[in-house]
C-alpha cells in the first residue's frame, strides 16, 4: 500500500502483467506510435551504417523519415553493425524523425544520440534496449532539444542514470508514458524527480530497479493523472 497516495492508477505487480517480457512487445507497449511520412526497419545483418546512410539520403526527397527501428545484434559472427556514423547520418538528414527505436546496438554511443538530439527536434518517441554505451550526455541532448518527446523507454542501458531522467523531467513536459527496466544507475532520486515534474504522465512501468517506498509515495502524491503503474522485480522495497 502506498501511504498518502492520491493517484487512481491501476497497479500491476509481479505476476499480474504477463506481457512485459517479449521483445516484440517492448516497441509497441506505450500507446500509439507517432506516424511520420516514411517508416524503416533494419534488423540483424541488414542493420548497418551503409544502409542508414542510404536511408538518410533517399528519404529526404520523399517527404522525410518519420519512424526508424533498428534491431541490431551483438551475436558473435555478425558484422560491427550500426555505429555513430550511421546514426549521425540520420540526425543530419532526417529532421522529420518522430520515432526512434534502437535495440541491441552495442556500438552506438552518446555521439550518435547527440546528433539525433541536434537534428531531430520533432522526436516524439524514444525506445532504447540493450545499448550499453549510451549514457547521460546523449540523453540530455535529446531532453534539451526534443521538447515533443511523449513516450520514453530505457531497457538494459547500464550507463543511463538519474541525471538523464531528471533532464527529461525538467525539459520534456509532454511525456505521458515512461518505462524503465534493468537500468542499475537509476534509483529513487531520478524517479522521484520525474514523477513530480512529469505532470502529464499516464503510464509508468518500473522493473529491475533499486527503489524504496519513497518512490512509491512520491508517485502516489504527485502523479495525479496516472492510469497505469506496473512494478516488477524491484529491489529494496
Render pLDDT for 15-26 as a digit per residue (tens, 0 to 9): 554 444 444 444
Looking at the fold, whether 68 and 150 belong to one and the same domain comes out as: yes
Domain contains 48:
yes
What CATH number has the domain bearing residue 156?
Answer: 3.80.10.10
E strand or H helix at 26, and its extent?
helix 23-26
Residue 210 lies in a domain: yes
C-alpha cell at position 105: 546496438
Whether residue 171 is contained in a domain is answered as no
Does residue 34 or residue 123 have the better pLDDT?
A: 123
Range of the domain at 215: 1-18+176-237
Query: Is position 166 within any domain?
Result: no
Does residue 168 fall inside a structural domain?
Answer: no
Which residues fall within 8 angstroms of residue 41, CB to CB, at 6 or more apart? Answer: 68, 69, 70, 71
Residues contacting residue 70 through CB under 8 Å, at least 6 positions apart: 41, 42, 43, 47, 52, 82, 101, 102, 103, 105
Is 104 among the domain residues? yes
Query: What is the pLDDT, as a whole number, of residue 222?
Result: 86
For residue 50, the Cα-to-chain-centroid distance in whole angstroms is: 24
- Quick one: 14 and 36 in the same domain? no
| Domain shared by 180 and 80, yes or no | no
Selected residue with higher pLDDT from 34 and 160? 160
pLDDT at 75 (0 to 100) = 57
- Domain end among 106, 130, 161: 161
170 belongs to a structural domain: no
Least confident segment among 10-14, 63-67, 126-130, 176-180: 10-14
Claim to verify: residue 220 and residue 119 sit in the same structural domain: no
Same domain, 148 and 233: no
Q: Tell me: do 156 and 119 sit in the same domain.
A: yes
Q: Are residues 108 and 3 in the same domain?
A: no
Does pLDDT of 2 surpass 90?
no
Judge if 3 and 84 occupy the same domain.
no
In this model, does residue 138 exceed pLDDT 70?
A: yes
- For residues 63 and 100, membership in a common domain is answered with yes
79-90 tens-digit pLDDT: 678 999 999 999
Q: How many structural domains does the chain have?
A: 2
Q: Are residues 236 and 210 in the same domain?
A: yes
The pLDDT tens digits of the residues spanning 50-92 come to 999 999 988 765 668 999 999 986 654 556 789 999 999 999 9
**What's the pLDDT tens digit per position in 146-163?**
999 999 999 999 999 999
CA 85-89-90 angle, 5° bins:
125
Q: What whole-number percentage of the chain has pLDDT above 70? A: 80
Name the pTM for this structure: 0.85
Pairwise CA distance, residues 230 & 237, whole Å: 14
10-17: Cβ within 8 A, 24+ apart: 10/227, 10/228, 10/229, 11/229, 11/230, 11/231, 12/228, 12/229, 12/230, 12/231, 12/232, 13/231, 13/232, 14/231, 14/232, 14/233, 16/230, 17/230, 17/232
Q: Give the model confidence (pLDDT) of 165-180 as tens digits.
A: 999 999 999 999 999 9
Backbone Cα Rg of the chain: 17
Same structural domain for residues 154 and 47?
Answer: yes
Higher pLDDT, 4 or 152: 152
Amino acid at each position: 500500500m502506498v501511504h498518502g497516495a492520491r493517484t487512481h492508477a491501476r497497479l500491476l505487480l509481479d505476476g499480474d502483467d504477463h506481457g512485459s517480457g517479449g521483445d516484440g512487445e517492448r516497441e509497441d507497449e506505450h500507446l500509439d506510435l507517432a506516424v511520420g511520412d516514411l517508416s524503416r526497419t533494419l534488423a540483424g545483418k541488414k542493420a548497418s551504417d551503409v544502409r542508414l546512410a542510404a536511408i538518410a539520403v533517399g528519404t529526404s526527397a520523399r517527404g522525410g523519415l518519420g519512424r526508424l527501428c533498428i534491431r541490431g545484434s551483438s551475436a558473435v559472427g555478425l558484422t560491427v553493425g550500426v555505429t555513430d556514423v550511421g546514426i549521425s547520418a540520420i540526425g543530419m538528414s532526417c529532421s522529420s524523425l518522430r520515432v526512434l527505436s534502437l535495440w541491441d546496438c552495442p556500438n552506438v554511443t552518446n555521439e550518435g544520440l547527440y546528433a539525433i538530439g541536434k537534428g531531430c527536434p520533432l522526436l516524439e518517441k524514444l525506445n532504447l534496449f540493450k545499448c550499453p554505451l549510451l549514457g547521460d550526455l546523449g540523453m540530455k541532448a535529446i531532453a534539451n532539444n526534443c521538447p515533443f518527446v511523449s513516450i520514453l523507454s530505457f531497457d538494459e542501458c547500464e550507463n543511463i542514470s538519474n541525471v538523464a531522467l531528471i533532464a527529461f523531467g525538467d525539459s520534456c513536459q509532454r511525456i505521458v508514458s515512461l518505462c524503465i527496466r534493468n537500468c542499475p544507475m537509476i534509483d529513487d532520486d531520478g524517479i522521484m524527480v520525474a514523477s513530480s515534474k512529469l505532470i502529464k504522465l499516464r503510464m509508468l512501468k518500473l522493473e529491475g530497479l533499486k527503489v524504496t517506498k519513497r518512490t512509491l509515495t512520491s508517485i502516489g502524491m504527485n502523479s495525479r493523472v496516472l492510469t497505469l503503474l506496473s512494478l516488477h522485480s524491484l529491489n529494496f522495497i
